[in-house]
């Protein structure tokens, strides 16, 4: 573990969960470049250490599997103490196992639930309690446009993102009276390991561009933000397609 003492010159203190690659890693790099001290949390230790080394001394690496929820509170408290406080928590961890349309796998669904739901709940609960006591702060959750409807291709993943949307809305309603901002981010297709090998993807943007838009949404204290914004129109339309029609669609 890197042992860096807090510095008063930091613009802010942030925890990014799911930081070793993709959107999470891009968020860490952008926050560090913007003057934040960042606790980068992820399961893959070698990638996490490389990210911390590349991003600079303001990034602290915390290897952690979000499925190990019994460890979350102690690690959260440790990260906050070593950062010297906390202003922002971003939950970017998530899995989307590839699943055939004729496949029904409790093992894959369990991994989705433990990572996308239970892992998120553990970290977001810690942040919610901390920011309520502090009377301020910000939570950002990386959901997905996939949470807008139950697509036939990824039932477990779609359900997990619908859960995250509702959980974040509940936190927003609970914490807004304490000056805490809760932002739900709903990306479309992002060029990450999760989308590699998938066909018929459109409006693809890089992880770095997604991170830029996410941090802009956080700065604007948005409630729900599609990334890019044009996915909001897609979501608007998809939510209004009758179920009898939607079930025949291949999206």
Structural domains of the chain in order of their starting residue, each with its CATH number: 12-246 (3.40.50.720)
The confidence score (pLDDT) of residue 209 equals 95
The separation between CA 217 and the C-alpha centre of its own chain, rounded to angstroms, equals 13
Give me 117's structure tokens: 């739901």
7 pLDDT higher than 90? no
Query: Is 72 in contact with 122 (CB distance < 8 Å)?
Result: yes
169-205 confidence digits (pLDDT tens): 999 999 999 999 999 999 988 887 666 666 567 677 8
240 pLDDT higher than 50? yes
The confidence score (pLDDT) of residue 198 equals 61
5 pLDDT higher than 90? no
Q: Within a 10 A sphere around the Cβ of 77, how many other Cβ atoms?
A: 12
Q: What is the pTM of this model?
A: 0.91
Report the mean per-residue pLDDT for the chain. Answer: 92
As a whole number of Å, the CA-based R_g of the chain is 18
Nearest to 196 by CA among 96, 110, 100, 117: 96
The confidence score (pLDDT) of residue 219 equals 97
The confidence score (pLDDT) of residue 26 equals 97
Residues 114-122 have a mean pLDDT of 98
168 pLDDT higher than 90? yes
Give the residue numbers marked as catalytic: 157
Confidence of residue 107 (pLDDT cuts 50, 70, 90): very high
Give me 95's structure tokens: 């899995």
């Amino acid at each position: 573990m890197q042992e860096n003492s807090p510095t008063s010159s930091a613009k802010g203190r942030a925890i990014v969960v799911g930081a070793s690659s993709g959107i999470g890693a891009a968020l860490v790099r952008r926050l560090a470049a913007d003057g934040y001290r960042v606790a980068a949390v992820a399961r893959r230790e070698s990638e996490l250490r490389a990210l911390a080394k590349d991003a600079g001394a303001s990034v602290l690496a915390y290897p952690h599997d979000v499925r190990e929820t019994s460890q979350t509170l102690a690690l959260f408290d440790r990260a906050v103490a070593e950062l010297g406080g906390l202003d922002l928590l971003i939950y970017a961890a998530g899995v989307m196992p590839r699943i055939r349309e004729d496949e029904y796998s409790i093992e894959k669904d369990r991994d989705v639930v433990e990572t996308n739901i239970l892992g998120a709940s553990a970290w977001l609960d810690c942040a919610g309690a901390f920011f309520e006591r502090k009377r301020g702060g910000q939570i950002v959750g990386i959901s997905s446009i996939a949470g807008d409807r139950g697509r036939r291709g990824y039932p477990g993943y779609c359900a997990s993102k619908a859960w995250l949307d509702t959980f974040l809305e509940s936190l927003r309603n609970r914490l807004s009276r304490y000056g805490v901002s809760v932002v739900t981010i709903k990306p479309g297709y992002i060029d990450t390991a999760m989308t590699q090998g998938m066909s018929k993807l459109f409006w693809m943007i890089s992880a770095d561009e997604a991170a830029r838009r996410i941090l802009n949404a956080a700065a604007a204290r948005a409630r729900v933000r599609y990334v890019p914004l044009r996915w909001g129109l897609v979501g608007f339309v998809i939510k209004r397609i009758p179920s009898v029609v939607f079930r025949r669609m291949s999206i």
